A and B are shown apart, each in its own frame.
Chain A
Amino acid sequence: MNTNKKNSKTAPRVDMPCQPPDRRRTNFEEVALGYTQEMSMREAARCLRCKKPLCFTGCPVEVPIREFIGHLANGDTAAAYAIIKSANSLPAVCGRVCPQENQCEGKCVLKAKGRPVAIGHLERFAADACLSTAPEPRPAKTGGKKVACIGAGPASLTCAGICANAGLETDVFEALHEPGGVLVYGIPAFRLPKTVVAAEIDGLRRAGVRFHLNYVGGATVTIEELRKSHDAVFIGAGAGLPNFANVPGENLLGVCSANEYLTRANLGHAHDFPNHDTPIWPGKHVTVFGAGNVAMDAARTALRMGAESVRVVYRRTRDEMPARHEEIEHAEEEGVRFTLLSAPLRFDGDDDFRLVSVTLQAMKLGEPDSSGRRASVPVSGKTSVLPTDLAIIALGTRANPLLLAATPDLTLTRRGYIKINEETGETSLPNVFAGGDIVTGAATVILAMGAGRLAGQEIRARFAR
């Protein structure tokens, strides 16, 4: 075991093979191709097996990382998967979309040398290898207690997985026609293949979770009704309502929210129109506003839809971009250009009400605000015109009012999200829990899963046996 220590100091991190940029920008297949078993063993051997590992403290669902990597180093993938699955109900998803650099890998002691263990890549390898074959735990029946989860995104799926595995009868109510939430309508297939999401959800079905699709929380079924039919309710309905920039011309044809663009492309398979029925606005010269992961996903999708040029416009500088570095790099490699310190001033259309250009306002960085982030302020009189026939707005989302308006006795925060007890995940209504974006505002898949886990464990403690 000590030999690892020497080895890891010198051995380079095993890079994950990727589709070359010039090829991948023309298809929707996954960009990162995954480790082979040999690669996984080589990378796992770099782990120092710290006596007091910090890596798992960086993981919102506290996967026992040292332990699963130990099994991978020995080539025992099935044992590694079983350990991961004990803490994480969607490892094939997390291994792909978590910002590991800020989480588990950010705490890895090898980070000091700049080369933390590729924990995400290893988690993905184990999950991909075992996903469709591993037996789901057979839950013991415990007295017929029932749990309802509203929404079928990462928070609810995690909560539902924990409850079902504890033997609780678990129902998931989803408004759209497919479960998965942002995993199916938001994150594109080239980052997260839909077969992977389907396999994870199939695993939950085999564990006994019942999915009720086309059920809108607050409309088809209310929280009050679910409180009567179930012992506990978990609200994981997300924060789907998109922000617009509130500038003139925003309703022109050819201006849309990133949610609309990505929902058409991913859930509606609009890239395969007319084989699939959902159309999408064609863009030769595409401008995406915002610089989060959603903006990168929209920009890279537009390239694959056949755009000649795609530009991301951001009002701050590269250092402030909220997207993962890996996603920004992938976008750049594929040919996405960046215009920084600029914000939309107005959208300009032709006689047919179609977008032809966007007028940009030059910005500069001002003083840091209370959160420490520097403000973006206009440079007076400095504007420019960017020819654009498709503008995609990726400026964040707000709480969807649908469910909240239908449940007036839920206590909300000042920002309009659901207020919870941080220790238990419980809302102001007894045995009604909430987690994910509907509590925090738009955040990450893994933080939503962490919130789903917290509530799931509390529900398990209260109602399983």
Chain B
Amino acid sequence: MPTPILHKESLIPGKTSKLLLHAPNIAQKARPGHFVMLRMHAKGERIPLTIADADPKNGTLTIVYLVMGKSTTLLEALKVGDEIQDVCGPLGQPTRIEKEGNVVCVGGGTGIAAMHHIAKGHARAGNCVVSIIGARSRELLLFEKELSAFVHELLVTTDDGSYGRKGIVTEVLRDRLANDPGISEVVAVGPVPMMAAVAETTRPFDVRTTVSLNPVMVDGIGMCGACRVTVDGKTKFACVDGPEFDGHAVDFTELCRRLTAYREQEKHSLELHEKTRS
């Protein structure tokens, strides 16, 4: 069933946008950590996107995407009132959320949006949430306002020092872990190298670390194993067993390499699309 777009907000012009979708059946069930599969048109591919927020009362879903290839370029071309051909979900296991004390939620890039939903869940469960978000520079920073609405502390880094602390999120995280022994869990969502770095940062402190993985997916319902990852030496399907796993047990090197599988075809597909568009 086509899913209409109710609102659209450009977060980073031409690069990242936030969409509010009318999807009452999914919104009712969506919990932090869930994702959806989207297909843009009759000849389209299926792509996974994390649910950044859900409003069951109004029947809406928020998704945030980075324009990377053909499918997200097609998504970026849609306006308010347009429809997405297929939206399927909510998929994956929801985040394990219980009252556990102090939780640090780390987000990088578009992952901040997905992290936001998880952080919100933790805050609602009564946990004290510290959020650390980072970007290359100030204008690339997402969801600062949304996070400020409920987190107890928001720490910001930029690579170039144009806003917040100069540096990367793991430096702030390390300081925090060193000075605050009461942290019960660290959650990280972002690019694979960032999540791997967070896991390495927390490992010596022996703090539970949850990461949300983003492998290649096809169906998103456990049928094919395209999204398989190695966790603790065992093969898991991120779409049904995850997408969240113990960051200390994930084989990030393998995940990074598996993400390159279709790089040439992805490039070709985008170039062709841009050529025919211009």
In the complex with contacts A216-B221, A220-B26, A251-B230, A279-B266 CB distance below 8 A: yes
Which single member of A220, A251, A279 contacts B235 (CB below 8 Å)?
A251
Provide the bound-state CA to CA distance between A278 and B219, in Å. 11
A 248-260 to B, binary, CB cutoff 8 A, 1 in contact else 0: 0011010011011
Residue A377 CB within 8 A of the other chain: no
Which single member of B43, B86, B88, B262 contacts A216 (CB below 8 Å)?
B88
Which chain A residues in 219-262 approach chain B with CB under 8 Å? 219-221, 240-242, 244, 246, 250-251, 253, 256-257, 259-260
> Interface with B: A11-19, A51-59, A269-277, A308-316, which one?
A269-277
Which single member of B85, B91, B262 contacts A279 (CB below 8 Å)?
B262
Provide the bound-state CA to CA distance between A284 and B193, in Å. 32
Residue B228 CB within 8 A of the other chain: yes
In the complex with contacts A176-B219, A214-B86, A400-B222, A281-B261 CB distance below 8 A: yes
In the complex with contacts A251-B254, A279-B265, A259-B45 CB distance below 8 A: no
Closest chain B residue to A264, Cβ basis: B218
Provide the bound-state CA to CA distance between A250 and B235, in Å. 9
Residue B1 CB within 8 A of the other chain: yes
Could you tell me the distance in whole angstroms from the C-beta of B190 to the nearest C-beta in chain A? 22
* Contact (Cβ within 8 A) A214 B45: no
A contact residues around B86 at 8 Å (CB): 177, 213-214
Provide the bound-state CA to CA distance between A214 and B268, in Å. 29
* Contact (Cβ within 8 A) B265 A274: yes
Closest chain A residue to B88, Cβ basis: A214
* Contact (Cβ within 8 A) A402 B240: yes
B-side interface size class: 35 or more
* Contact (Cβ within 8 A) A221 B223: no
Which chain A residues in 173-216 approach chain B with CB under 8 Å? 175-177, 185, 212-216
Provide the bound-state CA to CA distance between A259 and B239, in Å. 15
A 264-295 to B, binary, CB cutoff 8 A, 1 in contact else 0: 10001100011111110100000000000000
* Contact (Cβ within 8 A) B221 A256: no
Residue B90 CB within 8 A of the other chain: yes
* Contact (Cβ within 8 A) B88 A260: no
* Contact (Cβ within 8 A) B257 A260: no
* Contact (Cβ within 8 A) B224 A242: yes
Closest chain B residue to A349, Cβ basis: B257
Which single member of A213, A241, A263, A279 contacts B1 (CB below 8 Å)?
A213
Residue B272 CB within 8 A of the other chain: yes
Which chain B residues in 217-270 approach chain A with CB under 8 Å? 218-219, 221-226, 228-230, 235, 237, 240, 254, 257-258, 260-262, 265-266, 268-269
B contact residues around A221 at 8 Å (CB): 25
In the complex with contacts A278-B45, A400-B223, A219-B89 CB distance below 8 A: yes
Could you tell me the distance in whole angstroms from the C-beta of B21 to the nearest C-beta in chain A? 12
Which single member of B25, B224, B226, B237 contacts A220 (CB below 8 Å)?
B25
In the complex with contacts A215-B25, A281-B261, A401-B221 CB distance below 8 A: no
Which single member of B219, B229, B272 contacts A274 (CB below 8 Å)?
B272
In the complex with contacts A214-B88, A277-B71, A241-B223 CB distance below 8 A: yes
Which chain A residues in 327-375 approach chain B with CB under 8 Å? 352-353
In the complex with contacts A240-B221, A277-B70, A281-B261, A216-B1 CB distance below 8 A: no
Provide the bound-state CA to CA distance between A253 and B262, in Å. 9
A contact residues around B254 at 8 Å (CB): 251, 353
10 A-B interface contacts by CB (under 8 A): A214-B87, A240-B221, A257-B224, A263-B224, A264-B218, A277-B40, A281-B261, A353-B260, A402-B221, A402-B240
B contacts, CB < 8 Å to A: 1, 25-26, 29, 39-40, 43-46, 70-71, 85-91, 218-219, 221-226, 228-230, 235, 237, 240, 254, 257-258, 260-262, 265-266, 268-269, 272
Closest 9 CB pairs of A and B: A279-B265, A260-B224, A277-B45, A240-B223, A353-B257, A214-B88, A278-B45, A177-B86, A259-B224
In the complex, besides A219-B29, A263-B223, 11 extra interface pairs with C-beta distance below 8 angstroms are A212-B1, A219-B90, A220-B88, A240-B222, A250-B235, A253-B258, A257-B225, A260-B225, A279-B266, A279-B269, A352-B257
